[in-house]
Chain A
Amino acid sequence: MRFETREQTPAWLPWIAIFLAGIVTLFFAGILLMFAGASPVDGFIELFTGAFGSRNAMTETGATATPLILTGLAAAVAFRAKFWNIGAEGQLYAGALAVTFFGTGLIDLPAFLMIPFLMIVACVAGGLTLVPMMLLRQYLRVDEVVTTLLMNFVIILTVSFLLEGPWKDPYSLGWPQAAPIIDSGVLPQVVPRSRLHLGFLIAIIAALLVWFVQSRTVFGFHSKAVGFNPIAAKHSGISLSRTMLGIALLSGGLAGLAGASETAGLKGYLTLDLSPGFGYTGIAVAMLGNLHPVGVIFAALFMAVIFVGADAMSRALDVPTYLADVIVATTVLSVLASLVLVRYRLVFKG
């Protein structure tokens, strides 16, 4: 048995492969459900009603997908240029810090100005957090996987310091949380009396914008070339440092936007548990979405379905919620395996 490179791959093949990988995942998840003592069919029914069964379920799924779309885009943008940004978690908190700094009373503008302003400062903060790591890689060849990953801890510990100390809300009854975002900065709900807020629409628009930038603009063209073959790109007169700067700002900015949307939309104030690892899950989302911005939307929604649905399933059938993590991990693995099969053909011979 050996792999042979495919000479040509039809455009639809990756999507079929990802779809089949999803089926494979459900199969494995079914086996695990049986081990946990529940019927797989019941499990999946509970899972999907938990995620789609009611207005509340659907808005919950959307709210959960929001930060994942943004961190997924952050990873996808960087990975497409072969810049391995593992630091979306830190950049998310950097965005949240910026929103908290400007949004808790320092500046007060009408909502239609305040919200864009907060989003922009969060983007800038997230982007600037990533730029030093890009420079280290471009000029000193420091591995960005290490630097971006470690930067997460630096930023999260800084958040912790601020929330325990100078930024602690005096009215928080001792909890380590910052003062709430002022009313004009809070993202309004999209569906009344739900947790689905404007951030969801911002995330969708961001994905479409990224899609336009990547597929239509000179910058997208350059970053694609830099991703596939930086040496040839350089030989064609494409400035690597300028392109990489753009990629770092965009990737970090999208992660920062996730932090802003969570702080000003879902929670209303900054806490240390703002993100249960959205930055890391974003990597899986990006992979699942085949690094395509629209793919990322669907991948994030899929993840959200699993997370929200698994909660409902575990309540109804008394199986562990950790099944959600297992399903997500299996999905990513089977998608990666299926993408190998998109590039290569298996030949059974010899």
Chain B
Amino acid sequence: MSPLLKVAGVSKSFGALKANRNICFEVARGEVLAILGENGAGKTTLRNSIFGHDLADLGVAEFKGSALRAGDPRAAIEAGIGMVHQHFTLADNLTVLENTLIGAQSLWKLGLQTAAARRKLVALAERFGLEIDPDRLVSELSVGEKQRLEILKTLYNDCELLILDEPTASLTPQEASGLFVSIRRMVSEGLAVIVISHKLNEILEISDRIIVLRSGETVGDVVTSEADKRQLGEMIVGRPVERPQRGSGPPETASRIALEDVSTIGDGSSVALDRISLTLCGGEIIGIAGVAGNGQKALGEVMSGHQKPSTGRIIIDQQAIGRSSPRAFMQAGIAYIPEDRNREGMVGDMTVWENAVLSEADSQAMVGGFSQIDKRACLAQAERICTDYDVRTHSLVQPARLLSGGNLQKLLIGRWLARNPRIIIACQPSRGLDEGAISAVHSMLLAARQTGSGILMISEDLEEIIALADRVAVMFNGRLSASIPNNNIDPIELGLMMTGEGFHAI
């Protein structure tokens, strides 16, 4: 049987960077192919070349025996390729059914043929185990449901090859296994699925065949049943990797920061906090687990002075904090590592050294007699951060946006650690990072714990929480559960609590 999709010799460069080098692979009907690789390995570029967002420099993608028109996503969709991006592309103000019809109906037809569409949608949902109410507004859907809708949209457009980009990035373990069941059904009906991911465990669970990308090249093409996890891990990174072990922490000190019955007023876009109480001591890491959008953002913001609690008190080192401003919290010894390092953490258009001292430029050590910035002191400080925390940059004067995600995050965390913070609020500290950078970030946090800092780590990655946290609490719908000591926590039970089952707020 001829393959459904054949990618032959695809190469793509961005300036000096060779994002894809002579990549060849095939996908047959009834097969789940995984494309595995770290961030920056070229997965996204490859995906864009196939789907037509980008123009490959060399090579072709053949679908059902004929070449796809390059640089034209519409041609790919019409040929029968469906793509579900990691960040969903849905209209929040429309219903499930209306979203399905976007792009599926001619612009020049008056009225929507909803009856037929509804029948088709419901039938598809049932067939593939993607149940969803066609009349609900997308804004009311959970992350898992939104993803189901995205997949349904592609199926509705008669896709034969489905490309899923980091499909489990923000799903609970339960939602993820539901997704895998649906994928299995699709391939049993003769579709082909490509899963792009950097999560090794899931790939081993769902795929039939794995190709591994590293620095733009295919470094492995293996049948999953014959694959070895360790070997794959090394293939991805190019060298053996090990994440740092938690070990036992220093003796705990008194409470560093405590929230007493803190609530916030929601602004409509995010869930508000509902009577949260929490005590964080020095020398411990508390992990906050939860499905995205259950108030984690508000929790981080309240604890860093970005949002004012409407009721309740925040006590830092036995003193209630009066002024709620990021600056006041910083001076009280808090370091806040925001979840979106590009938007909230760094000024991409400024240089590496400027970013390294962004929070320090007005400190005594950096300012000369005319309130001018002492550039030499700043450069020295930036140099120190880059060496201490292994930030790899061509030069200190290049724009920070040219740094890789991992180096950017190391720079950001390093900038905070250089202040010797007594309290660290880390939101999704390793989201979207490659294996090497994750180990580095984890080491940085563990080292800070060893020196007596109290760390609150908010993460959607259960693996990360179980690996690092001394205590774990779950957030659900703006409330926080009691924290449980992290010994022999069952991830499945935690996953259930994240969806509200067995969840008890304190």
Interface residues in chain A, defined as those with a beta carbon under 8 Å from any beta carbon in chain B: 2, 4, 7-8, 212, 216-219, 221-222, 224-225, 228-229, 231-239, 349-350
Contacts and interface: CB of A to CB of B under 8 A. Distances in A.
A233 B70 contact: no
Given A232-B347, A239-B327, A221 B373 contact: yes
Contacts of B345: 232, 235
B358 interface: yes
Contact of B372 (A216, A234, A235): A216
A218 B338 contact: no
A255 B346 CA distance: 32
Contacts of B347: 225, 228-229, 232-233
Size class of the contact patch on chain B: 20 to 34
Nearest to B370: A217
B367 interface: yes
Given A217-B372, A233-B358, A350 B306 contact: no
B330 interface: yes
Nearest to A225: B347
Nearest to B304: A235
8 contacts: A217-B370, A217-B373, A219-B371, A225-B347, A229-B343, A229-B346, A235-B306, A235-B345
Interface stretch (B89-97, B270-278, B348-356): B348-356
Most chain A CB neighbours (cut-off 10 Å) among B325, B354, B358: B358
Given A221-B373, A350-B71, 16 more contacts: A2-B55, A212-B372, A217-B370, A217-B371, A217-B373, A218-B362, A218-B371, A219-B371, A222-B362, A225-B347, A225-B350, A225-B354, A232-B345, A236-B359, A237-B327, A238-B358
A235 B71 contact: no
B326 A237 contact: yes
Interface string B357-371: 011011000010011
Nearest to B341: A232
A219 B367 CA distance: 11
Interface in B50-73: 55, 70-71
Contact of B402 (A7, A219, A232): A7
**Top 4 A-B pairs ranked by shortest CB distance?**
A236-B359, A236-B358, A216-B372, A229-B347
Contacts of B343: 229, 231-232
B48 to A, nearest CB: 13
B267 interface: no
Contacts, number: 78
Contacts of A349: 55
B15 interface: yes
A7 B370 CA distance: 35
A350 to B, nearest CB: 5
A349 B347 CA distance: 33
B389 interface: no
B14 interface: yes
Contacts of A234: 306, 326
B463 interface: no
B70 A350 contact: yes
A350 B358 CA distance: 42
B490 interface: no
A342 B362 CA distance: 32
B144 to A, nearest CB: 29
B344 interface: yes
A231 B344 contact: yes
A141 to B, nearest CB: 12
Contact of B367 (A4, A218, A233): A218
Contacts of B373: 216-218, 221
Contact of B361 (A2, A7, A221, A232): A221
Contact of A235 (B15, B326, B402): B326
B476 interface: no
Contact of A221 (B16, B55, B349, B354): B354
Contacts of B338: 235
B326 A229 contact: no
Most chain B CB neighbours (cut-off 10 Å) among A7, A237, A238, A350: A237
Contact of A218 (B306, B330, B348, B361): B361
B1 to A, nearest CB: 32
Interface string B367-404: 10011110000000000000000000000001000100
Interface in B312-329: 325-327
Contacts of A229: 343, 346-349
Contacts of A224: 350, 354
B74 to A, nearest CB: 14
Interface in B233-261: none
Most chain B CB neighbours (cut-off 10 Å) among A2, A217, A235, A349: A235
Contacts of B370: 216-217
B157 to A, nearest CB: 24
A267 B140 CA distance: 65
Contacts of A8: 15, 398, 402
A7 B344 contact: no
Nearest to B415: A236
Nearest to A231: B344
Contacts of B330: 237
Nearest to B367: A218
Most chain A CB neighbours (cut-off 10 Å) among B70, B346, B361: B361
Contacts of A218: 361-362, 367, 371-373
Contacts of B362: 218, 222
A219 B361 CA distance: 9
A225 B358 contact: yes
B16 to A, nearest CB: 8
A7 B399 CA distance: 10
A231 B340 CA distance: 10
Nearest to B419: A237
B348 A228 contact: yes
B381 to A, nearest CB: 14
A2 B338 CA distance: 34
Nearest to B328: A237
Interface in B264-307: 306
Contacts of B327: 237-239
Given A217-B373, A235-B344, A228 B367 contact: no
A129 to B, nearest CB: 25
A63 B371 CA distance: 33
Most chain A CB neighbours (cut-off 10 Å) among B336, B362, B370: B362
A14 to B, nearest CB: 14
A59 B70 CA distance: 60
A217 B367 CA distance: 8
A212 B16 CA distance: 36
Contacts of A232: 343-347, 358
A230 to B, nearest CB: 9
A101 B105 CA distance: 68
Contacts of A228: 347-350
Interface in B161-209: none
A233 to B, nearest CB: 7
A280 B20 CA distance: 49
A286 B325 CA distance: 34
B255 to A, nearest CB: 24
A216 B347 CA distance: 18
Contacts of B15: 7-8
Nearest to A230: B347
Most chain A CB neighbours (cut-off 10 Å) among B15, B71, B348: B15
A117 to B, nearest CB: 23
A231 to B, nearest CB: 5
Most chain B CB neighbours (cut-off 10 Å) among A2, A219, A221, A231: A221
A164 to B, nearest CB: 45
Nearest to B345: A232
Most chain B CB neighbours (cut-off 10 Å) among A4, A219, A231, A232: A232
A327 B313 CA distance: 62
